Structure 1
Amino acid sequence: MNERMYNSFVYDISQKEEIEEKGNEKEECLCYRELREGELSQLIDKSYSRKYISALNQTFKDFGINTCIRISHFLAQVMVESSSFRYTAENGATDADYKGYKGRGLIQITLETNYRAYELYENEINKKKNKDVVCFTGMLANKQKLERIPYSVRSAGWFFAIHSSLCLYADKNDFIYITQKINGGLNGYNERLNFLKKIVAKVIHCQEREIPTNFNFKESKAYDNSAMSFAWGVWHDDFLGKKGCNYNREEAILGYERCIELNPPDTSPNINRFELKKKFPHLLVEVKSKKIYILRNKDVAKERLKQLKRSQ
């Protein structure tokens, strides 16, 4: 064999081994191992995958987000909340909005109560490790720490795994409940679902279990929650014009019926971000002790249910 033939032979072997290695890597289960930069770059821009891969893996380790299905659900939510890791502060919100506590971090932690809860968590960890106290409240500079690594990532891990106990629901593959716990409604539902499908297809090759990406509201924990059932009706109701998922009369009826069936208390108003007061001014109820007017979820549900069934 001459030198040219030998070099060609060696090149073919090494090229074949490289292809096989990449193939094996692609099919490797993600349970209990670190996510690779190359895998993350299949989902986000390479500059962001380089920036975040180390902090992500540390967060996965620290918060027990350590199986294919947990990582899948975490990433699907974070991808939407951060616009594919581009933003760690809420777009369109000023530093004065939400009384100074706008959405920050990869999962957009919002409101002072959540900032303080996360601050308390980190300082309990720091105390055990004899580290300095960290502050996320008070001065603007403290709050902005959530916009930068490591806290932009750790705060997302804390909110997902500790504050909202969503690893449990990731294990149950309850995408609907996880979305509502993180978003408070169904904003970006289709986008989150598409990301989950992409993650499962391109990155996750779980050998422990299958990860279905078709979801039924009746099988979700959200089905046992009156506010979440109401939201399911609202977001599927084309009359109300909410964006995030496909309008569907049957699903809207299902959500409203379940909300009424669960019989939320009369003092349970709809969340202000649903922006329904202008649609139903005749249903406003005065709460004299607080000098405010509220909409009760079940009142709106009853009216929309009647109208939807009438138009069938």
Structure 2
Amino acid sequence: MSDEQQKDSYAANPNQKTYDIPHQVDHEVNVVKIYFAKQVPKMTWEKKEETYPVKSGGLVSDVKKKYEKKGRRNIQADKEDSVKLKAKEEVKITWEEEVQEMKEGKPVFDYEKIDKTTVKKKVWVVANCQGTSGKLSVEIHENKLTNPENVYENPVKFLDEETEKTTIEFSINGTQVYAKEITLRPKSDPDLKKLIEKFTKRKDLNAFLYFKAEVKETQDKAVFPDDTHEFLNKESERFEISGTPCYCNRDITVDEMIDLIYHLRDKQNYKSKRDSFFNSGKEKILAIGITSGKISENRDKIKLFTDEMNTMFKKFDIKTCKRKIHFLGQMYLETISFTYTFESRDSVPDNYKGGVDFQGRGMKQITHDYNYLAYYDYVNSTTHYETYTTFRFKYESVGECVKNRPKAQEKGLDAAFYEQLKTYAKNISENLFHAFNSAGWYSTVYKDDTIKAMDEGLEDANVTKVTKAINGGDNNIAERKDYTKWTREFFKYDTECVNK
């Protein structure tokens, strides 16, 4: 960022398309809007051309396809698409490419309005203000809403670079759009800790912020949208701030999930299938499978996945960074880098109780018919698993118990039900709810040693202990350690987590 951009008087691009500004009136300072934003590059379309040397024939249309990628449009050739090309022939390709706009050798930025953030994050305060004199003074305040006490003292303290302030001031000079980057935290670490502790004691672990503004040092008339001089304080506009800078006690966002997927893929050097997502195996969850395009271009599918995961985390009390990191690291291994919800074996080892029908499924790859039976009981409030453990002989499978134990059959654990269980099992690999619900249940309710091990730490020894709790051994332990470590890095656990 340039020195000029960091000044309070820095004017953002005045030609933003998103926020229209009325015509400026002489002898009047009109404060139109104030909002929180993120800085985004202002993009423009630039004409490009290139001569493509043909190597071994093909059509002109095939050459044009080689130039297709995100950020390009209007790809044209100097020959018709249907023309057949010969080796060593040349084709001139032209297109428009999206690039960042520059002005006087410096990049130009726009400001995109945002409606939420977390403590400790940097945000931009942007003001649309018409006029040529005076200073616009802006304070941040907290709206109490349903919480009886504010977690912040009003006005809210923030950091301007390294200086703690309660007021932002813009020098009004006719440029209409003003922007300042701030950090939403008090300066001292003890004050930050007290703030986060106040958040965690509240009914809702968030707050809603708004702006109060005044115009000073001018003879011109100051005009505001209403007499309150407040912005973002209406029901549909309030800005939400979560009371933790880490992933404890909050949802993982779609953008964070996309970034995490790419982070893990890049760490493992997963180039060929970097943008594949739950598209492999004989049984799939079709709603989230990505077979074409980039993961970042399939936000709707990642949102389905992320929403279900967040719901599961809340239901099974997987709410701390530590638990989420372990869960995600193990899930990434179990699902083969987020591509399979079913093992898809044609034959299975002899120790797979129930055989091929009960191989691994879901986000934790539940295996063995007795585990499927226990999950069936959990969902349907039945007692078949209790019948099985009562009447089985030693460690026989559910199928063997059904076949050999008449008393179990009398209790309903019979051949007809066992066939029904085989059909039910596919829910775990083909239904998004059951894929996550079974994984949360297995890690907390059914195998509570797993979540106990998660709470003990994130070092390699802890990963080994969690792995043994999940599958009884240390299969793929090196990868599990790597995936957990890389997720820990992405979460910035060592510097950001408030519950270490």
TM-score range, shorter chain: 0.5 to 0.7
- What letter is aligned with 1:199? T
Alignment partner, residue 498 of structure 2: 208
Aligned to 1:41: 258
Other-structure match for 2:442: 159
User: 1:28, 1:207 → 2: CA distance?
Assistant: 7
Identity, % of aligned positions: 27
Inter-partner Cα distance in structure 2 for 1:94 and 1:71: 33
Does residue 58 (structure 1) correspond to residue 342 (structure 2)? The answer is: no
Aligned to 1:221: none
Matched, 1:32 2:316: no
Write out per-residue CA displacement over residues 174-205 of structure 1, whole angstroms, 9 at most, x where no aligned residue: 22111112233222111111111111111354
Q: CA deviation at 1:209?
A: 3.9
Considering only aligned residues, what root-mean-square deviation do their CA atoms show, in Å? Answer: 3.4
Structure having the higher helix fraction is 1
1:62-101 superposed Cα distances (whole Å, 9 cap, x missing partner): 1111110000111111100011221111143459974321
Equivalent position to 2:471, from 183, 188, 192: 183
Larger radius of gyration: 2
Provide Cα deviations, 1:246-271, integer angstroms capped at 9, x if missing partner. Answer: xxxxxxxxxxxxxxxxxxxxxxxxxx
Q: Indicate whether 1:138 and 2:419 are aligned.
A: yes
Q: Is the 8 A contact 1:105 1:146 kept in 2?
A: yes
2:37·2:123 contact (CA, 8 Å) conserved in 1? Answer: no
Matches of 2:314 and 2:38, distance apart in 1: 34
Secondary structure of residue in 2 paired with 1:28: coil
When the two structures are superposed, what TM-score results if normalisation uses the length of structure 2?
Answer: 0.35
Deviations 1:223-267 (A, max 9, x none): xxxxxxxxxxxxxxxxxxxxxxxxxxxxxxxxxxxxxxxxxxxxx
Which amino acid in 2 is paired with 1:150?
F
What are the within-5 Å matches in structure 2 for residues 100-111 of structure 1?
A: 100-111=357-368
Match for 1:8: what amino acid?
A: N
Does structure 1 conserve the Cα–Cα contact (< 8 Å) formed by 2:321 and 2:497?
no
Once the 2 structures are TM-superposed, how far is the Cα of residue 51 of structure 1 from its aligned partner?
3.5
Give, as a single letter, the amino acid of the residue that structure 2 aligns with 1:20: K
TM-score (structure 1 length as normaliser)? 0.54
Question: Does 2:452 match 1:168?
Answer: yes
Query: Distance in 2 between the 1:59 and 1:163 partners?
Result: 15
Match of 1:80 in 2: 333
Give the match for residue 122 of structure 2: 20
Deviation at 1:7, TM superposition (A): 5.7
**Other-structure match for 1:115:** 372
SS in 1 for 2:332: helix
In 1, the alpha carbon distance for the partners of 2:312 and 2:326 equals: 14
Q: How many residues align?
A: 196
Higher relative contact order (CA 8 A, sep 6+): 1
- Structure 2 CA distance for partners of 1:65 and 1:10, relative to 1, 3 Å: farther
Q: Answer yes or no: is the 8 Å Cα contact 1:137–1:143 preserved in 2.
A: no
Question: What amino acid maps onto 1:143 in structure 2?
Answer: A
Question: Which residues of structure 1 form unaligned runs of 5+?
Answer: 126-135, 211-312
Structure 1 residue 6, shift from structure 2 partner: 5.8
Partner of 2:381: 124
Change in 2 beyond 3 A, CA 1:171/1:50: same
Helix, strand or coil: the match of 1:104?
coil
Equivalent position SS for 1:78? helix
- 1:9 Cα deviation from its structure 2 partner: 5.7
User: Match of 2:367, SS?
Assistant: coil
Q: Judge conservation of contact 1:101–1:111 (CA < 8 Å) in 2.
A: yes
- Call closer, same or farther: CA 1:21–1:190 in 2, change over 3 Å: farther
